[in-house]
Every structure is written in structure tokens, then in C-alpha cells.
Structure 1
């Protein structure tokens, strides 16, 4: 390979970003979207592969803090904007960027790297496992009703604009971060992502709107949504697209769903990404009519096995020795003993016999508690070396609520 890999120079950002846009189809983004990503770019954490004066590869890593089981928020590199020019495929450019990036993340003291994948099959070979999934669905509001919990009628609703409600909605979001693994603590500037609404991306829908749920003068939930009017010979057949929804309690959340399912002149509520255990599935009278579909969302990579496993808590007491394979990041290879429980954990190197053998990819998949070690073992990806160790470790790694990534990056 004759290309040079180097940290992104701010003066080269436009040229660098043009390579990324071309790799994703060549459709230029709206000016406001492009401007936001430029402002959020942390240049010393972004890489470019250069063939002379020509940029042929891109990769970046945002500075994030990610919620993990137990409620802690852990430093994590948000891997993003990865591309290789079509003219320079199969030359090892992607592999070199991934290796350099993980070495950098380790040097920054961040035990985790996470990403969303345009092509999920790519990242497993670099040690990423799918650690969180998301549900999309379409609620047929002509046929489906909601059975809301007690207290829902005590929640008042107020429609406003996302911009005017930003402080209130961000306060609600911040209170929820530690309650569900996989959520990102919002860093300065990232609140603007929720306000992005280029007209070209609306596909005939209205500008985004916001509805606030309030009780006793306090904002206890919110939803960002858009309405797409449609008409047939029989009458109105519009749809509501739900972009964000958060409630601090069941009644607040149910009030928001009831409002969205009763918007005038609509017959569908389109849900684009919600947790796999989201409450709406138990509010609807007929989930089959909602056609829920599950897909991968957050891919997780343990950059420092010991630090990552010690950063979260465990549902039950655990004392297990892992034999970890990690050819891409050899500093993780070998045996690690994890001991801990609901109050905390320690994970250190050991010479003790291994109980379970797996790769770092499986640890990433199980890390947030949404994928069980038992299910990975059933696929042949975890081997039980000491009888009885698998089930105990699998239960300990679980989470009471499913992990979920609330927005992309």
C-alpha cells in the first residue's frame, strides 16, 4: 500500500468529506447538516488516507460517554464516517485505518469503541459485536387502540417547536441516560442534532414538531414528530413519523403515544427506532397490526477488556475466567478473571484455568446486556470449558432493560 495515513488537517475537511459523500452515493447533504458535522468533527481524532494529494479513505472517532449496565457512563469512541474510495478497494486501507484507530482509542484511555454500520458484515472482523438492537414498526391507528395506564389523564400536553422546547427536552433526556444501557450522554453541540430538519429530507412531511408532556408545571416527557398528509378517493390517509419520544414515567410516555396515535387526518404512526422492549408494544391492542421489525443498531468493541468489564455491574454475583481471542488487538488476548456483582466488579489477568472461551467480538455483543452468552454459545461462538459456568455468567451479564442507541452519529 502506497497511501499515507494521517490525522485530519482542518483545512482539508471539505476534500475529506467529499470522499465520504461520494462513498455513500454522491448525494450532497443539506448545507445545515454538512455545517453541523463540520463543527462536531474532532480533527485530532479523525483520520484520512491519502494517495498523494488525493484523499481515498476516511474514518473518525467522536468523544462519547456511553451508559452501561448499572447506570455508569463510560468513555467510548464513537466510530463514524468510515469510507474507502471505490478506486482504492482491496488494498488494506480500511484495515490500516481500523487498526490505527483502535490503537489511538487505547492510548486515549477509552475502554470501548462503538459504531452504527451501513454494512454490518464489515466490522466483525475488527472485533465489533452487535450489542444493541432497535425496533421499527407502523401502527395502524384505524385498527389498533391503546390501553393506557392509570394516571395518563393527569398528564397535560402542549405542542411547540423543537427549538423552543430544547432546554426542557434535553433535561428529560439527561435524566434517562443512566436508566438504559447504550444511551449517549449528550456533549455540548450534540443537542443540535435533534434540530436538524432539512426540507429535502422530509419526503413530503411537515417540519418537525414537538409535543411536551407536563404534570404540575414540570416537563415529564416529549416527542419529536412530523406529519405527512396523504389523501385517497376514500379520504385522509396521512401518517405520523416519530423521531424521538421520551417519558419519565409510564403515564407520561403513554400520554405521548396516545396523542401521536390520534393526530387528525392520519391513519398510521411510523416508528423508526425504539428499544426492543419498548412499552408501546404492551399498550397496543394488536401488536401484529403494527408489524414490528428488529434490526442491528449499536456495534460494540472492547478496546481494553479489563477496564471495560470492570466499568459495569452485573445482575448476580459472578466469578468467571474468560479465555479471550483478539488477533486484531493482541493486548486483549489471554485469560481474564471477572469477579463482581451489583455493586461493582474487578477484571484482571490470571493464570487460572479458563471457564469460557470466546473472542472479543462476543464480549462486545454481550457487554450491554442485550445479547446472552447462552445464545452466542448456541451459535458455537462461546465454548464452555467448565461445566455450569455458562449459564451463571450469562445471567450475570444480562440487563433488566434492553440496551438502545437513541440516535446515530
Structure 2
């Protein structure tokens, strides 16, 4: 078998993407979703493997900027559209695509690569660590009450057509994204993603709706949701399916949650992706009426260890030498001295004795502050070489706000 790995040509996109759909079960996406991803695809960052004229492997990347602890928004390659056809598995094609892709990310001087994984077990061997988690919620809305801050009644709520609300929603999103690690600064075109509402994908819900929250004429929050109308022998038993909710302050957030939990003819609210520190869970009267399931979210890989660690700040002063193992990207292999605090950091090569030893995968897992280095050490994945170094470094890497990725890519 002779295969060729190369960059996608624009005219090949339909066939290339069709093979991606086949690898993920063969069900074509709704035309609206397919058209969006065609527009968003960066062809020069999309690669494939061809066996003759047949596409047998795909991989791509988006050019993102991601918020990291301290508020900087660093360049990050959003790895996406990865597939290998079942006829060509176990032949090293995925490894070669990942290798070429990471070399290209390095050439573009992006210190981070990130992805969401359909099968998380795949990506650890390429240096990706689980860096954020997400919570799925189901709230029995008729069996909980909310503790509301003063001023909630002063928030004006109004339903607005999706297209008319885009500018206001994106302004709120940009402000929120700048404060939470793991969130992506939305590039042009990505504002269309949360508006996708193909009728074929609604699964019995009505159309997607948008409610804006205003204070003194300023939009300070929004929620997008749909309602699935259902009836039981007891009466109305509908479900609010929440797409997203963002707010600039606790009062506006409370007003939006009260609205969502009090929609007529419904008895439950579900959301598939909220941060693990979702404030709603501190507002409800009975947490047992809020089913919470936590799973992996964003996977992260430092592509340039020095630039990645110097690009964020640290919750406590830290001066540590890290012995980093990275056989897949050998330019990262070796010892790095990280010095930093809440104001900034530097990370340079060193010949000094190491304080901690870990692989780049563990570094990626801890990078945004969700996974503690101490927890990884307890699992045998980080080794302390200088007494006290683990506690010092683990605390410094922490984030007061839980990192979170609000949408896939």
C-alpha cells in the first residue's frame, strides 16, 4: 500500500469531509451545519491521507486564541476533524498526521494545541492531557427554589430573534471569555455556531429562542434555549433545553436562571455543558433535585513548553525546575526553570537539578488549573525530586475560576 499525506485542496473539501462523516458513523450532518464548517475550515491547516484517489485519513486545526490563568489570550491550535477509515487503521496514519500537525503548530508559533476527544484514550500518547471538565445538569424545576441577590427584580428580560441578538450576545461572551481560562475568543464566523438550529436536529423541541437581560438599557446577559413540550397524566411536563447562558454579574445571572426555571408548562431543565463551578448549584434550595454528571472537556498539549508556561500567571510565587518528558515533540524534552507569580512568569532551559519530573501530558492536564499536580502525583504520574516542591508548584498552578470550554469545535 502506498499512501500520501498532504494538505487539503479547497476543491477536495466535500469528499474529504464526507469521509470524516463516514468515520463518525456515516450519518450526514444537517446542511446548515455542514455549510458552517465548510466556511470555517482553514484549508491550509487541513491535511489528509490519500490511498490513490481515496481519502483514508483527515485532520484539521482552527486558529484560536484561548484564555489562560491571568487573563492572557494565547494562540492555540484547535485540533479537529480527525479520522482514519476503518480499512486503514493500525498502520500509523494517525500518528503521522499528529506529528505533521504539531510540527506545523510549532512553525506557526502557537504554544498550545487543544482538542475535544470522541475517544479520550487516543490522545494521551500524543501528549494531550485532560485540562477542563464540564457538568451536565438536569434540574427538577418545580422542586427547587432559588436564593436570589438583591436587585434581581430590577433586571429587564425580553425575547429577541436570534439574529437580532448576535451583537449583544457576542459582546457579553467576549467579556466573560476574558475572565475564565479555557474559553475561546470567538474569531469571525464562530458567532454562527451557537445559532445552529436545524429542524432535523431538534428532537422534538421548538425553535431556539434567545432572552436578553438588561439593566439601565444595557444588555448584561443572555440565554439561548428551546422547549420540548410534553404531557403526562399529571399535566404539563415539558423540558427546557438550555443551549448557553452568560452574564456579567451575579444579579443578571440570577434573573436569567429564575426565568429559565419558571417557564410555563415545564418541569425540568437540562444542559449538557456547564462549568463545574456553575453558580446555579449554589443558588438552589435542594441540590439533590439537580442531577449533575461531570465528564472530560478540553484536552490540552503544550507545543512549546517555555512559551506556554511563560504565557500564564501563577496563584502563588513559584520557582521550580521541571524535568519534562516529551518523546513525541523532542524539542520540549529536558529541564525547564519556571519562575513566576500573579504578575507574570518566565520559563527557560536550565541545567540545574530538577525538582519535579513529569511528562508533557501531565503538564497539559495541570496547565489551566483544573487538575492538581498533587492529584497526578498521588496517581504516580508526577514525581517529586525535591521535598516541598510538589505542594509549592501544585498550589501555584491553581485557578480560582474553574477552566471551561463552552462549546466544541
Please tell me the TM-score bracket, short chain as reference: over 0.9
Structure 1 residue 271: Cα displacement: 1.5
Residue 356 (structure 1) aligned with residue 356 (structure 2) = yes
Cα deviation, 1:115-140, whole Å, max 9, x if unaligned, reads 00001111000000000000001000
- 2:226 aligns to what? 226
- SS state of the match for residue 309, structure 1? helix
**Structure 1 equivalent of residue 105 of structure 2:** 105
Q: Which residue of 2 aligns with 1:279?
A: 279
* Structure 2 counterpart of 1:190: 190
- Written as runs of structure 1 = structure 2, the 5 A alignment for 1:317-332 is 317-332=317-332
Q: How does 1:348-387 map to 2 (within 5 A)?
A: 348-387=348-387
Partner residue, 2:342:
342
**Matched-pair contact (CA < 8 Å) for 1:155–1:214:** yes
SS of residue paired to 1:221: strand
TM superposition shift of 1:307: 0.3
Any idea what the Cα deviations from partners look like across 1:274-327, whole Å, max 9, x if unmatched? Answer: 110110000111112111010001000000000000000001111000000001
* Number of residue pairs aligned between Structure 1 and Structure 2: 409
Q: Write out per-residue CA displacement over residues 339-388 of structure 1, whole angstroms, 9 at most, x where no aligned residue.
A: 01011000000000000000000000000011110011010000000000
Give the distance between the partners of 1:62 and 1:390, measured in 2 at CA: 35
Shifted more, 68-77 versus 2-11: the winner is 2-11
Q: Distance in 2 between matches of 1:2 and 1:393?
A: 48
TM-score, normalised relative to structure 1? 0.99
Counterpart-to-counterpart distance in 1, 2:379 and 2:149: 39
In structure 2, C-alpha distance between the alignment counterparts of 1:69 and 1:61, rounded to whole Å: 23
Misfit runs of 4+, over 4 Å: none
Q: Give the equivalent residue in structure 1 for 2:68.
A: 68
The answer for the alignment partner of 1:47 in structure 2 is 47
SS at match of 1:407: coil
Tell me how far 1:182 sits from its aligned partner.
Answer: 0.3
Q: C-alpha separation between the residues in 1 aligned to 2:313 and 2:220? A: 28
Are 2:176 and 1:176 aligned? yes
Distance 1:394 1:161 in 2: 46
Give, in whole Å, the separation in 1 of the partners of 2:2 and 2:330. Answer: 25
SS state at 2:71 partner: coil
**SS at 2:162 equivalent:** coil
Distance in 2 (alpha carbons) for counterparts of 1:294 and 1:59: 28
Distance of 1:218 and 1:396 partners within structure 2: 37
The 3-state SS of whatever aligns with 1:292 is strand
Question: Within 5 A, what are the aligned runs for 1:177-326?
Answer: 177-326=177-326
Partners in 2 of 1:91 and 1:161 — Cα distance? 50
1:36 alignment partner in structure 2: 36
Aligned equivalents of 2:133 and 2:379: distance in 1? 18
SS state at 2:164 partner: coil
Shift in Å, 1:30: 1.1
Cα distance in 1 for residues equivalent to 2:348 and 2:338: 7
C-alpha RMSD of matched pairs (Å): 0.7
Shift, 1:2, TM fit: 2.4
* Number of the residue aligned with 2:140: 140
d(CA) in 2 for partners of 1:149, 1:359 = 45
**Which structure 2 segments of 5+ residues have no match?**
none
Equivalence for 1:93: 93
> 347-356 or 282-291: which moved more?
282-291
Deviation (angstroms), 1:143? 1.1
Match of 1:157 in 2: 157
- TM-score of the superposition, structure 2-length normalised? 0.99
TM-aligned CA deviation for residue 20 of structure 1 = 0.3
Task: Tell me the distance in 1 between the aligned counterparts of 2:217 and 2:209.
Answer: 20
Write the mapping of 1:118-129 to structure 2, written as runs, cut at 5 A.
118-129=118-129
- Distance in 2 (alpha carbons) for counterparts of 1:322 and 1:161: 52
**Deviation of residue 192 (structure 1)?**
0.6
Q: In the aligned structure 1, how far is the partner of 2:321 from the partner of 2:312? A: 17
- Farther-moved stretch of structure 1 (264-273 vs 283-292): 283-292
**Residues of 2 paired with 1:105 and 1:282: CA distance?**
40
Tell me how far 1:149 sits from its aligned partner: 1.4
